[in-house]
Amino acid sequence: MVEKLKKTKLPADCYAGAGDVQCDVCTGRKYKAVKSCLVCQESYCQTHFERHEEFHSRKPHKVTDATGRLQEMICQKHEKILEVFCRTDQKCICVLCTMDEHKNHDTVSAAAQRTEKQ
């Protein structure tokens, strides 16, 4: 499967430039990433993202627009996605943190917090 992904070709105007997030699957000259997977902790060009979605179609992964800051979206302690916002400590945490050091704190989903702030 990985070899099939690596051999897929894209137009030349899709190459990553300065400041672009690069596809982690492309070999040689990297294409510009369009999406990042928080579960796999990799970024993908359009073609490799489509293959990623096909491969994980039974259990979809958490995907975001391409970002070079994937590590900032993962809990350092538990290596889980930061998908909860602790209002008590004013920071994003993972689900396991809610049962640990943030137990009994005022928490909401990170998505709900973003919506509320807008």
**Is 35 within 8 Å of 43 (Cβ atoms)?**
yes
- CA–CA gap between residue 66 and residue 20 (Å, rounded): 9
Task: Report the pLDDT value the prediction gives residue 5, as an integer from 0 to 100.
Answer: 46
96 contacts: CB under 8 Å, gap ≥ 6: 75, 77, 78, 80
DSSP state of 13: G
Residuewise pLDDT in 10s, the chain (118 residues):
445 444 555 555 688 888 889 999 999 999 999 999 998 999 999 999 999 999 998 998 989 999 988 889 999 999 889 999 999 999 999 999 999 999 999 999 988 888 887 7
SS3 state of residue 92: strand
How far is Cα 53 from Cα 60, in angstroms, rounded to an integer? 7
* Residue 87: predicted pLDDT: 96
**Stated pTM of the model:** 0.67
State how far the Cα of 90 lies from the Cα of 83, in Å rounded to an integer: 13
Six-digit token string for 39: 């579960």
Single-letter code of the amino acid located at 116: E
Tokens of residue 17, six digits:
């430039």
Domains of the chain, CATH where assigned: 2-69 (3.30.160), 84-117 (3.30.160.60)
